[in-house]
Amino acid sequence: MKLTTNKQGLSGTLCVPSDKSISHRGIMFGAIAHGVTRVHNFLRGEDCLSTLEAFRALGVKIEDDGEVITIHGKGFEGLQKPSAAINIGNSGTTIRLTSGILAGSNFSTEMYGDNSIAKRPMARVMNPLNKMGAKCTGKDGGEYPPITITGSENLQPIRYEMPVASAQVKSAILFAGLQANGETVVIEKEKTRDHTEDMILQFGGAIEVDDKEIRIKGPQTLHGQTVVVPGDISSAAFFLVAGLIVPNSKITLENVGLNPTRTGIIDVIKEMGGKITIEEVGENNKSGKITVETSNLKGIEIKGEIIPRLIDELPIIALMATQANGVTVIKDAEELKVKETNRIDAVANELNRLGANITPTDDGMIIQGKTALNGGVVTSYGDHRIGMMLQIAALLVKEGTIELEKAEAIAVSYPNFFNDLEKLYT
């Protein structure tokens, strides 16, 4: 599709879409709890709809009246063998977290997805789940989907030092730990998003978190709850950066989730000298209103423990860095290579095609600042976050047009992205 270019000024207020991570988990916790769970503000993006359909296929009654999702959970033991292999589409979160839930089942489930999922590594979840007693195998005995999870009703607890910083792996082990006989201990490599831990408590479970060490005793019974999903800071990120780099702009984003394990991008914007104000308005200071305006930014180094707190925002942060004064270096982000596409290569290839100067490295990128962007033909590689980043890049292109291939991928996490952008044209 042809992208909007050459914008001089974006202004207005947007309510960003609901959080993808919490929407997935709302369905999952509702399915494994006993009783009724209601999820308000569920994200109707393709990934979360894949989770909804996966749990219907596992025999859970889930109603959608167009507003609220109502899940009639009957506990882990209420899950039933699906009549066919489950298609989880493009969603890494669905396949990995559901593996942990199915680890304690008394049946086998096959899960598969699209061409991108077929290349995403699964050993990271299969290894710990196999250690606990499940039997997980990938295609041709390898680690890639389709995967088959054969559960065990006699799961054993483990002490597991995670080799990667991943909330999906941690969550899969915690879901299995809820079903195991005894105490499972997970030690994180770096602290990652903690929505699963929060929701275990919200659903009446018990879990102890001491920095990177998490302890969970099984078996536990959870109880249905009401979940109100806040806005997704990972979706807000595209408009936060647009407001900072498009000349003469001022944008306010409402109801943005501000869980501290997700707010690395705010720290980066502040360190780069961006004009950003945050009014915390939600319950427990966990969501708020953020305003950004066009700013003179400076290049910085982004590495270490902050990386998992902004992992999905790195493509749009890289674009921001192309407009800053000086060089920005991103390190310790090798996980970007195993997302929907290799996001290090995708960002460097596509932005360089438009005139940026980005050197991909083994664990990140080196980004030269103050580069002018020109028109051209680019692709999202079927990756929603690359697609949205390229539309924000297009706003800076003064001459020529930009054609984006595979733009439809954006519906994975932000179906109304282009409509929301249009609301900001002055």
Ligand X SMILES: C=C(OP(=O)(O)O)C(=O)O
- Which residues sit at the interface with ligand S3P, rule CB under 6 A? 21, 93, 166-168, 171, 193, 311-312, 335
413 interacts with, out of ligand X, ligand S3P, none, CB within 5 to 8 A per kind? ligand X
Residue 191: which H helix or E strand, with range?
none
| Residue 217 contacts residue 183 (beta carbons within 8 Å) | yes
Chain Cα centroid distance, residue 377? 27
Burial class (CB in 10 A: 0-12, 13-18, 19+), 35: middle
- Helices in 219-363 by DSSP H: which ranges? 233-245, 264-271, 314-322, 343-353
C-alpha pair distances (Å), 375 with each of 245, 355, 403: 17, 9, 8
For ligand S3P, the closer of residues 19 and 251 by Cβ is 19
User: Which of ligand X, ligand S3P, none is residue 21 near (CB under 5 to 8 Å by kind)?
Assistant: ligand S3P
The 8-class DSSP code of residue 4 comes to: P
Reference 68, options 26, 33, 31, 29; nearest CA is: 26
Q: Are 168 and 93 in contact (CB under 8 A)?
A: yes
Cβ-based nearer residue to ligand S3P, 174 or 324: 174
CA distance from start to end of the chain: 22
Question: Diameter of the chain by CA atoms?
Answer: 64
Q: Shortest distance, CB of residue 302 to ligand X, whole angstroms?
A: 17
Q: Kindly write out the interface string for residues 86-115 of this chain, putting x where it contacts ligand X by CB under 6 A and - elsewhere.
A: -----xxx----------------------
Distance from the Cα of residue 392 to its chain's centroid: 19
Residue 120 assigned to a binding site: yes
Closest contact distance (angstroms) between CB of 340 and ligand X is: 6
Residues 403 and 393: beta-carbon distance below 8 Å: no
Site for ligand X in 299-318 (CB under 6 A): 312
Annotated ligand binding at 25? The verdict is yes
Edge to edge, what strands does the sheet with 69-74 contain? 61-64, 69-74, 34-40, 226-228
Q: Any catalytic annotation for residue 210?
A: no
CB of residue 260 to ligand S3P, shortest distance in Å: 15
* Residue nearer to ligand S3P on the CB measure, 311 or 354: 311
Q: Contact letters (x/-) for ligand X, 346-385, by CB under 6 A?
A: ---------------------------------------x
| Residue 413 interacting with ligand X (CB under 6 A) | yes
Is 275 or 337 the residue whose CB approaches ligand X more closely?
Answer: 337
Residue number with the smallest Cβ distance to ligand X: 92
For residue 221, what are its two tokens? 């019974």
Which partner, ligand S3P, ligand X, none, binds residue 335 by CB below 5 to 8 Å per kind? ligand S3P
Using CB under 6 A as the binding rule, whether residue 340 contacts ligand X is answered as yes
In what side-by-side order are the strands of the sheet with 213-218? 159-161, 182-187, 213-218, 208-210
- 340 makes contact, choosing from ligand X, ligand S3P, none, with CB < 5 to 8 Å by partner type, with ligand X
DSSP H or E stretch at residue 36: strand 34-40
CB of 235 to ligand X, least distance (A): 10
Annotated catalytic residue, options 19, 47, 312, 420: 312
**Which residues are annotated as part of the binding site for phosphoenolpyruvate?**
20, 92, 120, 168, 343, 385
* Active-site residue set: 312
- Residues in contact with ligand X by the rule CB under 6 A: 47, 91-93, 312, 339-340, 385, 413
Residues contributing to the annotated binding site:
20-21, 25, 92, 120, 166, 168, 312, 339, 343, 385
